Structure formats: C-alpha cells, structure tokens
Amino acid sequence: MDIHETEGLMKEDEPPDRSPRPARSWRVAVIANVRGESSLPQDGPSDAGAEFDKIETIQAIQRAIESDGHRTVFLPANANLPLALRDECPDICFNIAEGEGGDGREAQVPALLELMHIPYTASRVTANAIGLDKTMTKRIWRQNGLPTAAFQEFVTGFEPLDPQLSFPMFVKPAREGTGMGMGADSVVHNENELRRRVLWVISIYQQPALVEEFLPGREFTIGVLGRPGADLVARRPELYGADGFVHFPTLEIDNQASVTPGVYGHIAKTLHEGEAGVPGFLCPAPVSAELNAELHRLAVRAHLAVNALDVSRVDMRMDADGKPRLLEINTLPGLTPGFSDLCVIAGAYGMSYQDLILEILYLGASRYGMLEPRPGPNRIGLPQLARMPRQRV
Ligand SMILES: Nc1ncnc2c1ncn2[C@@H]1O[C@H](COP(=O)(O)OP(=O)(O)OP(=O)(O)O)[C@@H](O)[C@H]1O
Ligand SMILES: [Mg+2]
C-alpha cells in the first residue's frame, strides 16, 4: 500500500465533521462604543465612559471573526447607527455596545436591532436592561430563591433606612459597571456615612444608589457560555458539558493587595498585571470541588433567571458565614484579549480568544437559523427567531 492509499483510507475512516457551518460566509458588523469617540455628558462623573472599549479590542474581535472566513465592519453605537446599519446590511451583528446614557443603555443597540430585524449575538433587550440594573436583578434573584446580600435602593437619599439592614454596608450606583463609583469609600459604617455616600452617588451618577450589606469573604467571578442544547449548534461542541454550558474554571479575585483594599473598584479594574495595587487573580481558584460546583450552579441559575442568553459573567462574594452570595451579572462581559476576566477565564480553560469570539457568534447565529443544521434531532432549546427580509435603502 503506498502512502496515497494510506491517506485515502484514513480519510474514509475519519468521522465526518459534524460541526455546524454557515451555508456561506457572513457580513458581520461589530457594534461598540469606543473610548474617546462616544459622546459623554459634560458634567458627568470622572469615571464616565469607563465601560467603553478600546479600538484594539474591536480590532481583535474583527480579526477573530475574519479568521473563520467572514467579512467584518465596525459600526460605532451612536445616533448614526440606524443609517449605518441600513447602508451596511450586515447578516448579523456582534454586539458589545455599552450604550450612551439613559436607564437601560446596554439594551439600546439590541432594541434597535430588534426593530430593524437584524440578527445579533448575546442577550436580548430585556436581559440587557435588567442586567444593567443591579437592584432589579437582585429582586429577580431573591424572588427565585437565589442568595444575594440584603439591600435597599435609595432614589432620593432621604428614605428611612430599613432597620433590618446591618452595618457595615456597601453603596454603589444602581446602573453602572467597571467598578464605576466604587472604591474604599463605598464601605460605610454608620448612617451618617451612608447618607453622605448615597447622596454623592445620586447626584454624581444621576441614578438611584443601591445599598447592600457588606460581604466580607472571598470574591469569585464565573464565566457563563452556552445554553441548553448548545452542543448541537456550537462550533466546537466538545468544549460544552451535557447541560449545554462550558464548564470554565472559577476566577478568584484577591482584593487584599488592591489599591482599594478589600474592594475590586474602578481604579483596581484599570490596572494591569504587575502594576502596584492590582488585585491578585487566581484561575483556577483554589476551591474545593463542591464549592466550585456550587458557584457554577449558582452562576447558571442567576444567568437563566434574568433570561440572559449565550454569554455572561456572574460576580459573587462570600458572606460572613462563608456562603456565596450573588453580586451582579454582566450580560455584556468585557472582551479585551488577555485582560478582561472572561478572556482570562477562557484562556485558563484552554479556549483561545478566537474560539471564544466565534462561539459567541455561532451561538447567536444559531438562534436565527443561520447555520446548516447538524444531523440529529433539533433540540437547540430556543424557538428560532424570525428573520425578516431587509432592503438596502
Ligand atoms: N455588597 C458588597 N460587599 C462587599 N464588596 C462589594 C459588594 N458589592 C460590591 N463589592 C465590591 O465592589 C466591586 C464592584 O462591584 P460590582 O461587581 O457590583 O460592580 P460592577 O462595577 O458592575 O462590576 P463589573 O466591573 O464586574 O461590571 C466588587 O467586585 C466587590 O469587590
Ligand atoms: Mg462586578
């Protein structure tokens, strides 16, 4: 048998590639707010716009998508977006837009894409709006029996303090991210300090202040990727568990050395590995198998409770009794290569940045019937969303 016959035999013996593929290459619009280019209110807080992405992150996402044979275009998430979408006519949008202002900024782009009947990745409108609103998220979790610190929201700052809450407490803007408005001063020990901080949050961030009991224990963040049945539509189904979710390692944030000790606040979130005051990052976290499983179970339940889709990151902290409590969910987790928590987690799992981006893209595309179906029963777990014909104008 010569070498060519051997190769032929091996090819025949190989199982056919069952990964779903697009019928043709797509035109993908990456939609984001870029730091320095998005408009911000002039009298806003000093950390306004901290959630916006660097152009290098958008370019890295574009490269990852193009590596799979698709074409990409970057569209800034500003008031010109409706016209740009009409001009570009993308097959699907890779959405990481944080939005500008308002009470549901992270839901602005999904709402526009729904209105224009354009497919897009990750969570839909309601989950993005709820996820941005930490108080609303905690109400839903509490209603679902999920553990989260006792809390009270202050709209005016003059509401009577709930006597059931005990100090120390933690004060934060109800609808921000990236540690905005959070640092060592967020921890308050008496009602005077609490009132002062609450009124500061309300006046500077122009939104309610969320007050929670302080959680003194270890801090973890869990990456969530997948959905029930995702293994049938995923690009790399072998990365998913039987429940349809990737079982990423847990990331622990050690805040002892943090520039704001004990708190993973805004300044700590801007620092890079090796810089003074950067928290420690441990992935996989040194936790027991039982605690690891419990953190993952909680993260997936927290994700599903707010109807998040395909990808998120769920933050938790332990209470004084060593029990994990949910802090918040990020339905648009940061995707800066090698820096954002989800990218660090994926890397520790052995999933490349390119794979992470393409999985998010494929999971999104599968919701609109954009993949050639794989053989086998259709159990993608979601009704297919309608795709309406669109016209270039
Ligand atoms: N109740 C609490 N008790 C103790 N620390 C807290 C509490 N709430 C928040 N923190 C600290 O503040 C940090 C930021 O809080 P949180 O995760 O709610 O805000 P965020 O800005 O939305 O975060 P992200 O950057 O993940 O979007 C937490 O990582 C934690 O270190
Ligand atoms: Mg957080």
Top mean pLDDT of 88-92, 232-236, 388-392 is at 88-92
Ligand 1 neighbour 215 (Cβ under 6 A): yes
Residue 68: pLDDT band (50, 70, 90) is: very high
Centroid of ligand 1 to alpha carbon of 366 (angstroms):
33
Ligand 1 neighbour 314 (Cβ under 6 A): no
Centroid of ligand 2 to alpha carbon of 14 (angstroms):
45
Widest distance between CA atoms in the chain: 87
Q: At what angle do helices 353-366 and 341-349 cross, to 10 degrees?
A: 100
By residue count, the chain amounts to 393
Q: Decide if 69 contacts 24 (C-beta within 8 A).
A: no
Average pLDDT, the chain: 89
Ligand 1 neighbour 106 (Cβ under 6 A): no
Which of 166, 278, 327 is the pocket-test mutation for ligand 1 (most atoms within 8 Å of CB)? Answer: 327
d(CA 144, CA 186): 28
Determine the pLDDT at residue 380: 47
Q: Indicate the range of 74-78, 86-90, 260-264, 388-392 predicted with least confidence.
A: 388-392
Provide the 10 A C-beta neighbour count for residue 320. 10
Ligand 1 neighbour 173 (Cβ under 6 A): no
* CA-proximal residue: ligand 1, atom 13 (nearest): 264
Is 25 or 49 the better-scoring residue by pLDDT? Answer: 25
* CA-proximal residue: ligand 1, atom 19 (nearest): 179
* CA-proximal residue: ligand 1, atom 11 (nearest): 263
Centroid of ligand 2 to alpha carbon of 80 (angstroms):
30
For residue 29, give both structure tokens: 């619009």
The model's pLDDT over 229-254, given as tens digits with 9 standing for 90+, comes to: 998 889 999 999 999 999 999 999 99
- For the residues of 316-381, what is the DSSP string, one character each? EEE-TTS-EEEEEEESS----TTTSHHHHHHHHHT--HHHHHHHHHHHHHHTTT-BPPPSS----S
Looking at residue 116, what DSSP letter applies?
T
Centroid of ligand 2 to alpha carbon of 186 (angstroms):
14
Centroid of ligand 2 to alpha carbon of 149 (angstroms):
14
Residue 387: pLDDT band (50, 70, 90) is: low
Domains of the chain (ranges, CATH numbers): 24-120 (3.40.50.20), 122-148+215-380 (3.30.470.20), 150-214 (3.30.1490.20)
pTM of the predicted model as reported, rounded to 2 decimal places: 0.90
Residue 4: pLDDT band (50, 70, 90) is: very low
Q: How far is CA 198 from CA 20, 192, 209, 322, in A?
A: 51, 10, 6, 28
d(CA 343, CA 348): 9
**Residues lining ligand 2 (ion), CB within 5 A?**
315
Looking at residue 76, what DSSP letter applies?
E
Q: Decide if 109 contacts 42 (C-beta within 8 A).
A: no
Q: Indicate the range of 6-15, 83-92, 245-254, 380-389 predicted with least confidence.
A: 6-15
Ligand 1 neighbour 266 (Cβ under 6 A): no
DSSP run (H or E) holding 172 = strand 169-173
Residue 390: pLDDT band (50, 70, 90) is: very low
For residue 318, give both structure tokens: 């332990």
Which of 98, 151, 182 is the pocket-test mutation for ligand 1 (most atoms within 8 Å of CB)? Answer: 182
Asked whether the predicted pLDDT for residue 305 surpasses 80, the reply is yes
Ligand 1 neighbour 198 (Cβ under 6 A): no
The model's pLDDT over 155-212, given as tens digits with 9 standing for 90+, comes to: 999 999 999 999 999 999 999 888 889 988 999 999 999 999 999 999 999 999 999 9
Centroid of ligand 2 to alpha carbon of 24 (angstroms):
38
Ligand 1 neighbour 179 (Cβ under 6 A): yes
Centroid of ligand 2 to alpha carbon of 333 (angstroms):
10
Alpha helices in 26-132 (DSSP H): 55-66, 81-88, 108-115, 125-132
